[in-house]
Amino acid sequence: MFTLLVNNISGKEVGKVELDEKVFDGKVNESLIHQVTVMYQANKRQGTSSTKTRANVSGGNSKPWRQKGTGKARVGSSRSPIWRKGGDVFGPHPRDYSYQLPKKIKKSALISTINSRLNDNLVKVLDELRVVEGKTKEFIKIVAALKLERKVLFVCENTQENVLRSSRNIKKVNIMRWESINALDVLLHDNVVITQKALENLTQRLKKGE
């Protein structure tokens, strides 16, 4: 069972919390993580690349010259792919790359990614995340107090305007609500900081359908 310290925004220890071992058991299924990561990345693809086939390029439909007697190669159209400015063969065309995996697989992959961060001691719990004025220097103090380095994902029960405003200019920090995070979000960040209330809600979300 994982037992994590609960800190306040000043970095001081204010308690402890035990994670539900039915959800966070420390097991990591790399195969599921890979499947889900590929899906989320595919869903982000625009699929707008396009090329012109011989049916789309400009040029005449008539034969450039007669079939025999010129000493030149036989040609049927100036739109031929082997000609300069001819059509492309097997080029990309607009398409939808997105697809979906079952909800249970996505949920299991999220649990595995969080377990991975837990195994590496890269998860911290906050009693609450708040700022007063919504200035960047306030959030920088929070990051420094918690001794966070590299990319950090803050998971909250709600995204307050002041919190978003104070963190948006910090490149390596992202704020998300607990119901919005997925396995790829966790993988893209080195550290995960979650509030107590968000942790409770996320645990209940992941326990559904056991």
Residue type, 18: E
Q: ∠8-114-142 over CA atoms, to 5°?
A: 25
Residue 181 per-residue DSSP state: -
Please list the alpha-helical segments (H only) found in the chain. Answer: 30-44, 103-119, 136-145, 161-167, 183-187, 196-207
Query: Can you read off the two tokens belonging to residue 173?
Result: 């920090």
* pLDDT bracket for residue 1 (50, 70, 90): confident
Average pLDDT over residues 172-177: 92
Q: What are the sequence ranges of the domains in the chain? A: 3-44+100-207, 46-96
What is the phi/psi pair of residue 154, to 5°? -95, 125
Residue type, 153: L
Residue labelled with tokens 């991975």: 116
CATH number of 3-44+100-207: 3.40.1370.10
- pLDDT for the residue numbered 90: 94
- State the pTM of this model: 0.84
Taking alpha carbons only, the member of 56, 112, 43 closest to residue 86 is 56
Name the CA radius of gyration of the chain, rounded: 27
How far apart CA 146 and CA 169 sit, in angstroms, is 18
Taking alpha carbons only, the member of 84, 80, 149 closest to residue 121 is 149
- pLDDT for the residue numbered 209: 55
Residues 206 and 183 sit within 8 Å (Cβ to Cβ): no
69-105 pLDDT, tens digit each: 999 999 999 999 999 989 999 999 999 999 999 999 9
DSSP-derived 3-state class of residue 190: coil
117-151 pLDDT, tens digit each: 999 999 999 998 888 888 999 999 999 999 998 89
Taking alpha carbons only, the member of 42, 4, 12, 68 closest to residue 200 is 4
Residue labelled with tokens 């979906």: 100
* pLDDT bracket for residue 111 (50, 70, 90): very high
Is the pLDDT at 210 greater than 80? The verdict is no
CA dihedral 50, 53, 58, 59 (to 10 degrees): 170
Query: Can you read off the two tokens belonging to residue 48?
Result: 């707008």
What integer best gives the mean pLDDT of the chain? 92
Please list the alpha-helical segments (H only) found in 136-195. Answer: 136-145, 161-167, 183-187
DSSP-derived 3-state class of residue 147: coil
